[in-house]
Structure 1
């Protein structure tokens, strides 16, 4: 029923639509207000990121249910250390709350550096599932893809999860390592250590 594919440039406008459909929490909308200008800003950001080799954008399509271009997507960053600059965005759109954005993402990066202390790791940057397809396995497919890659490389994985996403990540071996007074409200710092897999 579900199939995994790489995302292409033609997918990015719908990716932004799906992001707003799936991420309608007040914190997300304060970071990225749902305006035509910010939607264009997000589209341009993802298009510019897609051309680099390290981020891996993947999507899940479904051959049943409503006719949607895809029902879930993930952005994996497979080339990070805890000393990297962390989240890197272009200049914030004037309709975004710049100070809040910098404080929110900056705090998540401080927590990551504090816990990982320079360890090379993979970063699960973004994971969104259409509300009509939640709890049906699409998100799990996208997480499992990254877990398998990380385990083969012997790398831990970091994710800044939403509070609603904690239980899902815990099923894959992530644990809450939030730093009191650093990890921002509305986010949960989570770490998964690599697992040895027996070769088939």
Structure 2
């Protein structure tokens, strides 16, 4: 298939409109529990909830130099069909930076549950990443476009970046996403939460092959 015939194109997303489009896609891709705990959004949506979350993501993207949003577009329609947030920590201790925090509009028992889940995730991240690393923080695909390679495009982009930087990569993965990540060199490093819906920490090691190049010395 020629590049011009490819159904998808991968782009970096930096504007508020782009991140807002990915956020709406993220909301549709996740179940109600995840929407509430991680996004602070109800099902169905209450007025302004999604806008509050979008503003938070835009602020994070602007404030944190390690935050990189990637989107996949349908080349025919121009709409986003998948998105991911990569966090790239190039130097120093990596696991405790930009740690996840609960949405400001989650209260009571839901906030307690959120703090517990995020606490486990942050602890696992610190444990498995004592140094620099590339972190796939969020990854989602429109349900109508799943199993067509959009997710693989985003994961490959992050793995290629990690290889160029000579860094390990890390994901907090659901059981549903394990197969995709394993095909790109990730392996299970430990459980984050037990149970049927438990998440697993997955790592991808630093590239083991050097980058060769240069020219041979000219004969004299």
| TM category, shorter | 0.7 to 0.9
Count the aligned residue pairs.
Answer: 194
Ranked by relative contact order (alpha carbons within 8 Å, sequence separation 6 or more), the top structure is 1
Q: 29-38 or 159-168, which moves further after superposition? A: 29-38
CA distance in 1, matches of 2:150, 2:188: 23
The partner residue of 1:115 within 128, 135, 150 is: 128
How far does the alpha carbon of each residue in 1:86-138 deviate from its partner, in whole angstroms, 9 at most, with x for none?
2145634449821111110110111122233x221111000111111111111
State the alpha-carbon separation in 2 of the partners of residues 87 and 172 from structure 1: 25
The answer as to whether partners of 1:155 and 1:193 remain within 8 angstroms in 2 is yes
Structure-2 separation of matches of 1:170 and 1:21? 25
Distance of 1:141 and 1:96 partners within structure 2 = 38
The alpha-carbon deviation at position 13 of structure 1 amounts to 2.5
Q: Give the 5 Å matches for 1:7-86.
A: 7=13, 8-24=15-31, 26-31=32-37, 32-34=40-42, 35-36=45-46, 37-52=48-63, 53-64=65-76, 67=77, 69-79=79-89, 81-84=94-97, 86=99
Structure 1 residue 171 corresponds to structure 2 residue 178: no
TM-score, normalised to structure 2, is 0.78
Do the aligned residues in 1 keep the contact of 2:101 with 2:115 (CA within 8 Å)? no
Q: CA shift at 1:170, angstroms? A: 0.6
Alignment correspondent of 1:98:
111
Which string of whole-angstrom CA distances, capped at 9 and with x for unpartnered residues, describes residues 30-64 of structure 1? 41443334312211111111213211101111124
Secondary structure at the counterpart of residue 49 of structure 1: helix
* 2:168 aligned residue: 156
Aligned counterpart for 2:12 among listed residues 6, 11, 26: 6
Residue 123 of structure 1 aligns to a residue in which SS? strand
Q: Secondary structure at the match of 1:61?
A: strand
Unpaired stretches in structure 1, ≥5 consecutive residues: none
The answer for unaligned runs of 5 or more in structure 2 is 1-6, 214-220
Structure 1 residue 149: Cα displacement: 0.9
